[in-house]
Amino acid sequence: MNELRELIESEIRRPSVFVDESVLYPEFIPPVIRYRDKQLKQLVELFKPVILKPGASSVKVLLAGPVGTGKTLTSIVFGREISRVAESRGIKLKYVHVNCSRSKNLVGIIREAKDSLCLHIPDRGISSNELLSVFLKLLNRENTYLILALDEFEYFLSTAPPEDRHAIVRMYDVLQEDVKRVNMIFIARGSPASVWSRVDSVTGSYLMKNFVPFEPYRASELYTILKDRVDAAFHQGVVGEEVIDYISKMSGHDTSGDGNARKALAVLHAAGKLADKDLAEGRTTRVTIDHVRQVIAQEYPALIDLLDNLHYLNLHEILVLKAILHALKESGLDYVPISTIEATYDKVCEELGEEPRKHTQLYAYVMDLKQRGIIITKTSLKGRRGRSTYVGFGAAPLGAALQKLDAVIKQLRVG
């Protein structure tokens, strides 16, 4: 125990290029949102009736755009500020943010919303519409208005039954209420057309009525965003302007990148970690362009995309992904059958002392990983008889991906 204590103490005392690396995490909310004034203004205009005439109508807004374009951040900051304005006017308005990759149906969404609002609703043995009705009655009793933001809404549209989609998007058509206390922000990856393709024309018209688009970031915009984070995350002078310029031009939509701010921040964070290692070994005291090049060479774009998705997954989804990568690595094949993945998953769970999920849940996790673009599936392979599900992985190196997964699993289990 003394050795472990000394190890912890030495790690705490170790010099670092970082002041606060949590500033570079995907979930960090910066004090200032850059280059989203237009979207914030649209949200203010659309939600103005919630303040001026609360309950007279239910506002529904769709935020859509590519990954890493500030949709979630904009929604959270807007929800926080409009709630404060409402409170100053004596209106009890709450903002609740639900990720649909965790809560994939109406019951899951209502459960998460009621828990956030500390509302007690027994949700066993009643239908989803009955649960929704009780939820609205409690809002009436508490005289509470709600802005409910559904993030990664495309997953809900893909997985929820039609009646759940209908109830969420057209809530006050399903349940007639004089006072409309629930307002919605739908947040979806991709284009409006991709959202429209998942629903019927009537539901689509509801979604597209109030649409706020998010465009990929330009290099100059990413430079400012990265500079803000550098000033807060690193010691002064550790990251030069040439490094920020290099990453922003590599990532900017107008300079052959994808305009993904989250990915640009992930590259900066990984480069900082390499510099930290070099600092400990006495080689450098700065983050350099060479560190950035090493990240790009080592991590691969596919691996950075994987890291971008990991914080949306629960522990057992990550354990299933680890089983997939292990099975692929051990077999040397491009695709492995789901039966092999299940056997490997059981071993992974046994090693960690985790109770493995049943086959149906494991299959649902595999389909969710496919939906996210993390894995690839086929229902048949050349030379194999019959139809089964075979699973493959993208271009990222399996060893490096497994190392990242192990680090995330450790964090989740400690948490």
Token pair for 160: 């929820």
CA distance 336 to 410: 26
CA distance 341 to 338: 5
Which CATH architecture fits 315-414?
Answer: Orthogonal Bundle (1.10)
Fold of 217-300: Helicase, Ruva Protein; domain 3 (1.10.8)
> Regarding beta strands 375-378 and 211-213, do their DSSP bridges make them parallel or antiparallel, or are they unpaired?
unpaired
Q: Would you say the CATH fold of 315-414 matches that of 37-213? A: no
Tell me phi and psi for residue 227, to 5 degrees. Answer: -60, -40
Tell which residue, 123, 164, 119, has the closest CA to residue 137. 119
Tell which residue, 155, 147, 17, has the closest CA to residue 80. 147
> Residue 275: CB partners within 8 Å, gap ≥ 6?
17, 238, 284, 286, 287, 288, 291
- What 3-state DSSP class applies to 86? helix
- What 3-state DSSP class applies to 279? helix
pLDDT in tens, the chain (415 residues): 677 776 666 656 668 999 999 999 989 999 999 999 999 999 999 999 999 999 999 999 999 999 999 999 999 999 999 999 999 999 999 999 999 988 889 999 999 999 999 998 876 778 888 899 999 999 999 999 999 999 999 889 888 888 898 889 889 887 888 899 999 999 999 887 777 777 777 777 777 889 999 999 999 999 999 999 999 999 999 999 999 999 999 899 998 788 999 999 999 999 999 999 998 888 878 999 989 988 887 766 667 777 777 878 889 999 999 999 999 888 877 788 999 999 999 999 999 999 999 999 999 999 989 888 888 888 866 555 556 888 988 766 788 788 888 888 888 887 6
What pLDDT sits at residue 197? Answer: 74
What pLDDT sits at residue 188? Answer: 94
Token pair for 42: 């649209």
Token pair for 59: 């506002």
The sign one gets for the Cα dihedral 371, 374, 380, 382 is positive
* CATH number belonging to the domain at 37-213, selected among 3.30.70.20, 3.30.499.10, 3.40.50.970, 3.40.50.300: 3.40.50.300
What pLDDT sits at residue 166? Answer: 87
Q: Quote the pTM value.
A: 0.79
What pLDDT sits at residue 395? Answer: 61
Q: How far apart are the first and last CA of the chain?
A: 21
CA distance 171 to 46: 18
Alpha helices in 281-373 (DSSP H): 289-310, 315-331, 338-352, 359-371
What pLDDT sits at residue 10? Answer: 61
What pLDDT sits at residue 376? Answer: 86
Given a contact cutoff of 8 angstroms between Cβ atoms, the answer to whether 363 and 324 are in contact is: no
CA distance 338 to 353: 22
Please give the single-letter amino acid code of residue 234. Answer: F
Domain boundaries, the chain: 37-213, 217-300, 315-414
CA distance 326 to 398: 8
Q: Rg of the chain's alpha carbons, rounded to an integer?
A: 23
